Amino acid sequence: MENKTKFKEAEIGRISEEWSEISLGSVVTFQRGYDLPLKFKKNGPYPIIMSNGIGGYHNEFKAKGPGVTIGRSGNLGEPFYTGKDYWPHNTTLYIKKYHNAYPKFVYYFLKGLKLSRFNAGSAVPTLNRNHIHPIPIIFPNKVAEQKDIAKILSDLDSKIELNQQMNKTLETIGQALFKRWFVDFEFPNEERNPYKSSGGEMIDSELGEIPKGWKITELKECGDVICGKTPSTKDKNNYGVDVPFITIADMRGQVFVIKTERKLSLDGAKTQVKKKLPPLSICVSCIATPGLVALTSETSHTNQQINSIICKKGISPYFIYLTMSRMSEQIKLLGLGGTATLNLNTGNFSKIKIIYPSMQVMKNFHGKTKAIFDKILLTVKEINMLCRIRDSLLPRLMSGKIRVSYKRC
């Protein structure tokens, strides 16, 4: 049987009858978590939930699942859901008791409350359960409706997580192919046999043995190396909604950057036209947090902490991306030349030496990996769309402005 979801705007009368104005403490009872010194920690099946999520596993649990915690100190007010029995750490408040409340719905409900605003600490931010229990809320009376709402949001999160896992798998495939071709040198030879193990001729180079016909080259020979720049923040006209402005925060955990915290206006982008990056430019963080690597998905700009490579014609951006990703630790070490912050300047970055294959191998590798990266980009865009839908629905569902009903067919 298939579930079909219907959304409809709530009627004011029905909201008053089916949703109640109560306090948060009438719905759930929070309890401070438990300390677990490292010397007492023993590996086991039960997750230790800390303010920033799972912080390890233990052989005992303190709370039955499913359960919800919120950050008490550190990642203040951020909710976390687990379906398992767990150990709530003392950096969290956990829900000790639910009063006619469905745990998964409560998790989503708490996400919309932004509890970090109830910081009770001074020097160290802290969340006190006695300060949040009296918070007035509007809450659905029926657990059945809570479950229906939670299912909508949970289904979206499950699809997002599935897509994220699929992209991790695709990237792993790309990295494995790169290693086989450019580290193990087992790319297909003219007879489509693995080159090195089939007796392919190798020659010495400053980076070790490489196949005959290949060479060692500097990054600047692979394309234009562009150091980003931040337009004047004093002129608000430089910023808008037109051109992605990539910073290190936007690159974390990303293959393609399709969402940025800030964007430039067209006028702002025109103030630094030489900094413009076309799609499939390779961005590498070189200051503060060196070694992050990502691809642009559209015309973009970056700040000065990022060096980017615009590949020459015939050079695969996927080859350069995977080369830089594999050199991440080396880039971090090169950045240690800085003082207060890690810093790899553009000149030194441009001189990084890499193994450069024959053009035929480059072309063949691009053909093999293009479909992988096209799929990653398509999936990232879908993830972004699903996140927008979820984030748009969340406050409206949690306030009862949109009601949910299921029909079975």
pLDDT at 14: 52
- The reported pLDDT for the residue numbered 225 is 97
Q: Residue for token digits 């976390």? A: 80
The answer to whether 76 and 127 are in contact (CB under 8 A) is yes
**10 to each of 315, 388, 405, 407, how far by Cα in Å?**
56, 22, 11, 18
* Residue showing tokens 């297909």: 188
Strand ranges of the sheet holding 262-264, from the earlier edge strand across to the other edge: 262-264, 239-246, 301-302
Look at residue 297 in the predicted model and tell me its pLDDT: 97
Cα-flanking dihedrals φ and ψ of residue 156, to 5°? -65, -45
The helix-helix angle for 359-398 and 103-111 (nearest 10°) equals: 100
Structure-token pair, residue 125: 């931010």
What pLDDT was estimated at residue 305? 94
Reported for 18-21, long-range contacts at CB under 8 A and 24+ positions apart, including other chains, are 18/140, 18/141, 18/142, 18/145, 18/400, 19/138, 19/139, 19/140, 19/141, 19/400, 20/138, 20/139, 20/141, 21/136, 21/137, 21/138
Model pTM above 0.75: yes
Q: How far apart are CA 69 and CA 28, in angstroms?
A: 11
Could you identify the residue written with the tokens 């403490």?
25
Tokens of 269: 């982008």
| CA terminus-to-terminus distance, the chain | 6
pLDDT at residue 1 in the model: 36
For the chain, domains (ranges, CATH) are: 10-140 (3.90.220.20), 142-187+359-409 (1.10.287), 215-356 (3.90.220.20)
**367: buried, middle or exposed (CB in 10 Å: 19+, 13-18, 0-12)?**
exposed
Please enumerate in sequence order all residues whose Cβ is within 8 A of that of 74, keeping only pairs 6 or more positions apart, or say none. 50, 51, 52, 91, 125
Which residues make Cβ contacts (< 8 Å) with residue 234, sequence separation at least 6? none
Contact 99, 130 (CB under 8 A): no
Please tell me the predicted confidence (pLDDT) of residue 5. 47
Per residue of the chain (409 residues), give pLDDT as tens: 344 445 455 444 455 678 999 999 999 999 999 999 999 999 999 999 999 999 999 999 999 999 999 999 878 889 999 999 999 999 999 999 999 999 999 999 999 888 888 876 656 678 889 999 999 999 999 999 999 999 999 999 999 999 999 999 999 999 999 999 999 999 999 999 999 999 999 999 999 999 999 999 999 999 999 999 999 999 999 999 999 999 999 999 999 999 999 999 999 999 999 999 999 999 999 988 899 999 999 999 999 999 999 999 999 999 999 999 999 988 888 766 544 445 788 999 999 999 999 999 999 999 999 999 999 999 999 999 999 999 999 999 998 888 776 444 4
The secondary structure of residue 194, as a DSSP letter, is B
Question: What pLDDT is attached to residue 73?
Answer: 86
Q: How far apart are CA 43 and CA 31, in angstroms?
A: 24
H-helix or E-strand spanning residue 318: helix 317-326
> Of 167, 220, 166, nearest to 353 (Cα)?
220
